[in-house]
Amino acid sequence: MQEFDLVVIGGGPAGIAAATAASNHNLNVLLIDERSTLGGQIYKRVGPGFEVKDSIKLGADYLRGEILIKSLSKSNAEIMLETTVLSVEDSQVIVVTADNKYDSIKYKKLLITPGAYDRPVVFPGWTLPGVITAGAAQSLVKTQRVLPGSRIFFAGSGPLALAFPAQLSKMGANIVGIIEAAPRPGFVKIFRIARSLRGNLDLIRDAFFYQFHLVKSRIRIQYGRIIVSANGTDRLESITYARVDKNWRPISGTEKTVPADTLCIGYGFFPSVELFKILNCEMSYDESRGGTVVQLDEWGSTSLPNVFGAGDGTGVSGSYVAILNGQIAALRIAYELDKISEKTLFNLSKSIRKEVNLRKKFQKAINHAYAVKSGIYQLASSETIICRCESIPLKDLLPIIESTSDFSVVKAYSRCGMGLCQGRNCQRQVSALIAAKHGLDLGKIPGTTPRFPAKPVLLGQIADSSIRDEKYFIDEQ
């Protein structure tokens, strides 16, 4: 079995930055990612079969990603792509590789940087064809150069509510409307954000360009509006939105319906915490960073020895913070493996930490301005499907939630969360229903027990007939 000083799970900005730094400090590093290219979510490369003639055309993110990836390829880190991590057990990472085999790889230190996924939002019609997450739309554009539709409506919140449509529109998409759930930023908010601007000019520049582009293209952002329903028989034909109160609950009588063939949903992200949970790391809850997050110390160390985390998978803080925290974790790991002295550790991490703090201040101000409100969990009607894998409508869940405050019990009786996505889409929604019904705190409602595998895997890929069951006779027990 192979052994590495450091195994990094996830080849996004956090993982790449960490693997590069660790390798440059003479650690023997392996970076694993399930995709066929490096770059993670933001620096997603174009898919196979495409050739990039002019990378400048692909935008600043693409360039930044290219620089990061180049520095990694100059280092000695080993890279395994198309390799999915199924679990981590007993200082081994269990993977399925590109050639359909499973394998286990030993590590001295582990860094988990699995990124985030789009926050699922449940409202009538959310499962109609034509309704997609903004991230999925962006992936289509980034990897396949395909636009998702010809009349695209965007509903979301947060800084990306600006970025997504602007990026899509730059690619030639016809954006017919943008709604942002938060109110138009007032003076106090602008002041707060402005105060945190130091060191974040690039971010503001990005935002400015997006805004500028939208204005130029005559695309209007409507603030204080939320999606109410997606309408259509076999696929999306129109969408309805409404004004919201301060908790993001739609105000009845203010609904408006507009025709659209594509609805992009972008209400933020959930960290991908499966591996941290399988390992039984200490977790906590922070709605503004995506909900359930892993607890880290100032070095990115989890509650378990030798297990570290960085990037959006540890709580959504954006790609800049992801890179910096990846680097800090790499330094700490190099120090713990005696590759650098304590002095070097502190010297090198000091300037990075300074930048992290500036970035975080900005992120905090943004999170404050765009914090998700409880109304987002109250959009479903009684016929709305909550668990899309098992097609379970709200009305089937309500009587069960009446009798229990335990998500696992709801799951057992309804099959909600038992399908392909294993509750990634519905669990938070159901927990919110439980919280509302029983007057509990959403963050305190335990989810299901985390289990192997972190991602579905073919039985043929993991079947191993060399693992034998000892004979099982009762007089031998």
Partner 1 sequence: MTSSFLPGYLDRKENLADLPKVTDVAIIGGGLLGTALAYYLSKFGIEVTLLERSDLNREASGTNAGSFHFQIALHQLTKNLTESEEKRLSDEVKLQLDAAILWDTLEKELDADLGVHFTGGFMVAETEEELKVLRDKQSIENKAGLETHVLTGDEMRSFAPYLAPDLSGIAYCPREGHANPLLVGPTYAFRAMELGAKIRTNCEVLKIEPLDNASPYRFKLKTSRGDISCNRLVNAGGAWTAELSAQLGIKHPMGLSGLHVNVTEPHEFFLKSMVQHIGRRLTLKQTPNNTFIIGGGWPSRTENYPRRYSNYWASAAGNVAVAVRVLPILKDVRLLRVWSGVWAYTKDFKPILGESEKVPGYHVAMVPTGFTLGPMVARTLAEYMHSPANKNIIPKEFSVDR
Ligand X SMILES: Cc1cc2nc3c(=O)[nH]c(=O)nc-3n(C[C@H](O)[C@H](O)[C@H](O)COP(=O)(O)OP(=O)(O)OC[C@H]3O[C@@H](n4cnc5c(N)ncnc54)[C@H](O)[C@@H]3O)c2cc1C
Is 402 a binding residue for partner 1 by CB under 8 A? The answer is yes
| CA–CA gap between residue 433 and residue 425 (Å, rounded) | 14
The footprint of partner 1 on residues 103-162 (CB under 8 A) is 104
Give the residue, chosen from 184, 408, 440, 444, that forms a contact with partner 1 under the rule CB under 8 A.
Answer: 408
| Best CA proximity match to 158, nearest among 176, 137, 135, 132 | 135
DSSP symbol at 412: H
b (16+ CB within 10 A) / e for 250-278: beeeeeeeeebbbbbbbbbbbbbbbbbbb
Question: 3-class SS at 116?
Answer: strand
72 binds, among ligand X, partner 1, none (CB under 5 to 8 A by kind): none
Cβ-contact 11, 31 below 8 angstroms: yes
**82: contact with partner 1 by CB under 8 A:** no
User: What dihedral angle (degrees, nearest 10) is formed by the CA atoms of 289, 313, 111, 74?
Assistant: -110
156 part of the interface to ligand X, by CB under 6 A:
no
Residue 313 interacts, among ligand X, partner 1, none and using kind-specific CB cut-offs from 5 to 8 Å, with ligand X
Q: Binding segment for ligand X among 27-35, 364-372, 405-413, 428-436 (CB under 6 A)?
A: 27-35
Task: Determine which residue in the list 36, 280, 357, 381 makes contact with partner 1, applying CB under 8 A.
Answer: 280
The DSSP call for residue 303 is S
| Least Cβ distance, residue 439 to partner 1 (angstroms) | 13
- For residues 310 and 326, is the Cβ–Cβ distance under 8 A? yes
Closest CA to 418 of 445, 439, 388: 388
Which span (45-53, 218-226, 308-316, 456-464) binds ligand X, by CB under 6 A?
308-316
Shortest CB 432 distance to ligand X, Å: 21
Q: Is there binding between residue 34 and ligand X (CB under 6 A)?
A: yes
> Under the criterion CB under 6 A, does residue 325 sit at the interface with ligand X?
no
Among 94, 122, 265, 385, binds partner 1 (CB under 8 A): 94
- From the list partner 1, ligand X, none, pick the one residue 311 interacts with, judged by a Cβ distance below 5 to 8 Å according to partner type: ligand X
Least Å distance, CB 41 to ligand X, is 3
Q: 149 is in the binding site of which of partner 1, ligand X, none (Cβ under 5 to 8 A by kind)?
A: none
d(CA 319, CA 12): 9
Supply angle C-alpha 284, 288, 293, rounded to 5. Answer: 25
Which of 213, 388, 415, 424 is close enough to bind partner 1 by CB under 8 A?
Answer: 415
Is residue 14 a contact residue for ligand X (CB under 6 A)? Answer: yes
Q: Which of 4, 62, 107, 117 binds ligand X (CB under 6 A)?
A: 117
User: Closest by alpha carbon to 118, among 248, 272, 230, 222?
Assistant: 272
Provide, rounded to whole angstroms, the least separation between the CB of residue 453 and partner 1. Answer: 6
CA distance 187 to 445: 36
116 binds, among ligand X, partner 1, none (CB under 5 to 8 A by kind): ligand X
Nearer to ligand X, 40 or 130 (CB): 40
Exactly one of 42, 236, 329, 433 binds ligand X (CB under 6 A); which one? 42
Phi first, then psi: what are they for 178, rounded to 5°? Answer: -130, 130
State the minimum distance, in angstroms, from the CB of residue 168 to ligand X: 10
The tokens describing 339, both together, are 């590759």
Task: Please report whether residue 341 would count as binding partner 1 according to CB under 8 A.
Answer: no
Strand, helix or coil for residue 325: helix
Instruction: Tell me the C-alpha to C-alpha distance, in Å, between residue 283 and each of 88, 273, 368, 446, 474.
Output: 17, 9, 22, 11, 41
Q: Choose, by CB under 6 A, the member of 85, 94, 131, 239 that binds ligand X.
A: 85
Q: Is residue 462 part of the contact set for partner 1 (CB under 8 A)?
A: yes
Burial class for 101, CB neighbours closer than 10 Å (0-12, 13-18, 19+): exposed
Q: Check if the beta carbon of residue 163 is closer than 8 Å to that of residue 134.
A: no
The region of 231-239, 312-320, 322-330, 406-414 touching partner 1 under the rule CB under 8 A is 406-414
In this complex, which beta carbon is closest to ligand X, that of residue 278 or of residue 433? 278
Give the length of the chain. 477
Query: Is there binding between residue 99 and partner 1 (CB under 8 A)?
Result: no
Residue 102 binds what, of partner 1, ligand X, none (CB under 5 to 8 Å, by partner type)?
Answer: partner 1
d(CA 11, CA 396): 40
**What are the residues binding ligand X (CB under 6 A)?**
9-15, 32-35, 40-42, 84-85, 113-118, 135, 138, 160, 163, 269, 272, 311-313, 318-319, 322, 454-455
